[in-house]
Each structure stands twice: as structure tokens, then as C-alpha cells.
Amino acid sequence: MITIDGPAGAGKSTAARLLAERLGYTLVPTGAMYRALALSVMRAGIPPRDGPELHAHLAPLTISVEAGHVYLNGEDVTEAVKSQEVARVTSEITTLAAVRGKVTPLQRQLAAEGAVVLEGRDTGTVVCPDAEVKFYLSATLEARARRRRAELSAVGATAPLDAITNELRARDVQDETRELAPLRRAPGAIEVDTSDLTADQVVERMAAAVDLHRRDAEPPVDGPPRANRLYTVMRILAVGLLRTLFRLESTGRENIPATGPALLVANHSSVLDPPLIGGAAGRQLTFLAKAELFEIPGFGGLIRRLNARPIRREGADPGALRTAMRALADGRALLIFPEGTRGDEGVLRPAKAGAGMLAVMSGAPVVPVYVRGSGRAWPRGQRLPRPTKVTVTFGEPLRFDGEHGGDRKQRYEIVSREMMEAIARLRDGITGGAHRPQPASYAGRSK
Ligand code: DC
């Protein structure tokens, strides 16, 4: 997944088209999708305002993209959406939640197929915050205005440079200050100032960055992924602090495979859980964290460097499964919390089916983890932690092979349940992994 964002006139659409062609990827011009929706609203004579009329109009609309062309209810509107009038209505309607709520999921669906270049204003920040390579194209206002004028004269239209400059400036303000999905540089995005570059030069730079990413992301031919030095240092500091504050102890570390993929599944009742488990584990872990955290200046960059990967928490996120599968395919030890959100100390809740799906699809050994005490030390809703003893127990790895016949969804649910049962056995002090008799319920509170 590649995303390209930036202001109007920075050269995104040309760069995106050329890059997609060069890589053999699918192009998703997100602005054109919004334009198609605007065209539909204009044709229906509906005012471009939020309201029941607009909602009723949006519900049955289909907008699709194929081979760089945009279709509105099956009609190719690629050319029709290029008019100034459509652009004007588009900029009005793209501020509406109902409109973004309609188009963003369509874009995510297209992106989930992989091998895509998405181009727009919010593709790296909102649509695909977990894209592998993100670009932010910028250019001076003067350079963008000159380009616009050349584009207009190519189609026989003229406009004074001043007027074009003013229009671009107004669109920048609109794009940057709107409440929903404002134009921002996504965390980790590579900025390319295109002011003095030709389209070919821009694409050359982008392709080089994609190449570099591919080389970095490729799992090494032999041995595990390289150790991350910042992680090593931070872990030593964190363990020191966690031992002092919470008398952190751990058992069963030997149950984590020393190399190769491993899926650690833990109960969750505190923000302390990731550092506690990361501190207690004998090898470096990879974490999943909500995408918004990566947008916090400074903090986002730090957690990324500490092996955190962004996922979206609201709605279906096909990207999350891909991110997790990728980490395991790279031979990493990935920590997930199958219950999804934090709960009370000692209470285990049912796992999300996605956790079972990940275990089955990856075939990775699944290490159950039970954290005791973190929900007392720093529960949800409490401002500061209180010093309380915390222990982390790693259980024997479980294996769930992919082939089982029958209903796949049911299989994922069963596996999700078995994970929580293994965690419950650790909570209840029953050792011996999956082979011991199972307690009647995992939903009860420990004594
Ligand atoms: O890039 P463009 O000119 O085709 O975009 C058309 C309009 O849609 C423009 O007003 C910006 C807006 N847009 C948006 O809000 N979010 C996107 N992801 C893409 C475009």
C-alpha cells in the first residue's frame, strides 16, 4: 500500500499515475471518487448540505475505480468529473461526515486488495494509516499556480495567474482547516517538494523510496529480524522502572520461541500491559497500537521505532490483519490482546474472532500470556499508577493448524475461545498448557 497526499496542484495525480504504472499497481484517485459523488449530487439537484435528502441520495450510490477510471453507478464519469463546477461542489461536500463516511470505506476496500497507490488528501492519515510507504507531495504556491495555468491553457482556457493563485490559496485553507480529515502530512510520510522537479524526476524519487522500503522490509535470508537498538535500551530502562514500581516478576519466559514467528496473546486490563509483557519477554516484541497514537508528534515516531504498528479501532480494518500477518511472516514475535479493549483485573472476556483468524492463517505458535496485577496497578480511568505487585506468566505454546475442514468462521471462533481458555488456566494457576482439564468458564473473576 502506497499513499500520496498533498495540496492541490502539487502534482499528485500525475505522480500517482506514473508510479502506479511503473510498479504495476492499481491506482486509486480518491479525489475523483469524491468528484463522482459531487457530480451525482449536482445531477440530482440536491443542495450540497448535510440533511435527509443528501443521506437518502448517498445510500444507494455505487462508486468504483477500475484501471484509473471512475464509475458512478456503472457509468464512466472520468472526464465528466474534471470540470471546475464539479471541483467547486466537491470541495463543499468533502467537509460532510456523511460523504466521507460513504467514500472512505470504499477506498479502504480497494486498498485491502494490496498493490495499490492511493492519491488524495487523507489517504495516509485516515484511509490507510498502516500503508507501507507514504508520500507527501508539496510545492510552492507560485509553482502550483503556474502549473494550473499551463493545464488550463492546454485545454484552451485562460485565467490570470493572480486569480488562480487566490483560488489555490483558498483551497489550501479549506483542505487544511476542515474538521474532518484535514490535509496533514501523515506520520512517517516522505515529503517531496516538486516545485523545481519534472514529473519524471518526482516519480524517480518515489520509486527509489519504494525500493528502499522493500529492501528494508524483506526478511533477512538467515536469522531473525535485526535487533532494534533503541528497543534494547528502552527495555532495560523500562524493566528497571517496572521492577521498582511494581516488583515485576515473570515466569515461563522459556515458552516463547527464541526465533521465528510467535503470536503472544494476553489478557488486557491496563495501559501498562504492553511494556510489562515487553519487559518480561526474553526477545523483542512487535505491538499493535491504535492509529491515532501515531499522530501525536514525537510519541508517534517513538512507538514506531519501538516496533509498534498502527491499526484502526473503529469499524472493520482489513489492514490490521495484513499488518499482523506481515509481522509474523517477517519472523517477529507479535503481541496482541484478543479481548480488544481493557477490562477489569482478573476478568477475562471473550476474544474477538480476528485473533483466532490470525492464529489459524499464520500458523504461528501461540503463546498465552497472563498479566496479574496491572488492572490494580493502573486500571482504566485512574490518573496515576499505584505501586502494586505485577506478575507476567507465559504459558506453553499452542498450535492451531489451518486445515480443519468445516466452517472457517466457526473454526476461528473456536480457536479464539481456546486462546482465552489457555489464558484462564494461567490465571487460575493451572500449568501444563493445553493438555490439562479445562475450567468450566473463563468469564469468571479470579479469587
Ligand atoms: O485532488 P482533486 O482535486 O481531485 O480533489 C477533489 C476535491 O476532493 C478537493 O476539494 C479535495 C477533496 N479531497 C478530499 O477531501 N479527500 C481526498 N482524499 C481527496 C480529495
- Any atom of ligand 1 within 6 Å of the Cβ of 91: yes
Q: Is the confidence at residue 403, as pLDDT, over 90?
A: no
In the chain, what percentage of residues exceed pLDDT 70? 91
To the nearest whole number, what is the mean pLDDT of the chain?
89
pLDDT of residue 297: 85
Q: How far is CA 337 from CA 49, 302, 385, in A?
A: 41, 21, 21
pLDDT, tens only, 23-38: 888 999 999 999 999 9
CA distance 192 to 189: 9
Pocket of ligand 1, candidates 13, 30, 85, 148: which has the most ligand atoms within 8 Å of its Cβ, to mutate? 30
CA distance 363 to 137: 40
Query: What distance in angstroms lies between residue 205's CA and the mean position of ligand 1's atoms?
Result: 24
Residue 219's pLDDT band (cuts 50, 70, 90): low
- Any atom of ligand 1 within 6 Å of the Cβ of 255: no
Nearest CA to ligand 1 atom 15: 94
CB 25 within 8 A of CB 115: yes
Lowest mean pLDDT among 84-93, 151-160, 425-434: 425-434
**CB-based burial of residue 332 (10 Å sphere; 0-12 exposed, 13-18 middle, 19+ buried)?**
buried
Q: Is the confidence at residue 228, as pLDDT, over 60?
A: yes
CA distance 354 to 419: 12
Q: Which atom of ligand 1 is nearest to the CA of 32?
A: 4
Nearest CA to ligand 1 atom 8: 31
Query: What distance in angstroms lies between residue 201's CA and the mean position of ligand 1's atoms?
Result: 24
Lowest mean pLDDT among 2-16, 249-263, 280-294, 314-328: 314-328
Query: What distance in angstroms lies between residue 368's CA and the mean position of ligand 1's atoms?
Result: 45
Lowest mean pLDDT among 148-162, 214-228, 248-262: 214-228
pLDDT of residue 442: 42
- Any atom of ligand 1 within 6 Å of the Cβ of 89: no
Which residues touch 80 (CB under 8 Å, ≥6 apart)? 39, 86
Q: Is the confidence at residue 446, as pLDDT, over 70?
A: no
pTM above 0.85, yes or no: no
Measured distance between the N- and C-terminal CA atoms of the chain, rounded to whole angstroms: 47
Q: Which domains can be identified in the chain, with CATH numbers? A: 2-217 (3.40.50.300), 229-427 (3.40.1130.10)
In the chain, what percentage of residues exceed pLDDT 90? 68
pLDDT, tens only, 169-197: 998 998 999 889 999 999 889 999 999 99
CA distance 182 to 91: 12
CB 378 within 8 A of CB 385: yes
pLDDT, tens only, 194-211: 999 999 999 999 999 998
pLDDT, tens only, 290-317: 888 888 888 888 998 999 998 876 555 6
CA distance 11 to 70: 19
- Any atom of ligand 1 within 6 Å of the Cβ of 81: no
Residue 440's pLDDT band (cuts 50, 70, 90): very low
pLDDT of residue 43: 97
- Any atom of ligand 1 within 6 Å of the Cβ of 416: no
Query: What distance in angstroms lies between residue 186's CA and the mean position of ligand 1's atoms?
Result: 16
- Any atom of ligand 1 within 6 Å of the Cβ of 90: yes
CA distance 260 to 363: 12
Residue 438's pLDDT band (cuts 50, 70, 90): very low
Backbone angles phi, psi at 220, to 5 degrees: -60, 150
Q: Which residue would you say has higher pLDDT here, 115 or 89?
A: 89
Q: How far is CA 144 from CA 30, 150, 246, 374, in A?
A: 20, 10, 57, 54
- Any atom of ligand 1 within 6 Å of the Cβ of 120: yes
- Any atom of ligand 1 within 6 Å of the Cβ of 104: no
Q: How far is CA 52 from CA 48, 55, 59, 99, in A?
A: 12, 5, 11, 12
Residue 84's pLDDT band (cuts 50, 70, 90): confident
**CB-based burial of residue 368 (10 Å sphere; 0-12 exposed, 13-18 middle, 19+ buried)?**
buried
pLDDT, tens only, 348-393: 999 988 899 899 888 899 999 999 999 999 999 999 999 999 999 9
CB 82 within 8 A of CB 122: no
Complete DSSP assignment for 13-49: HHHHHHHHHHHTPEEEEHHHHHHHHHHHHHHHT--SS
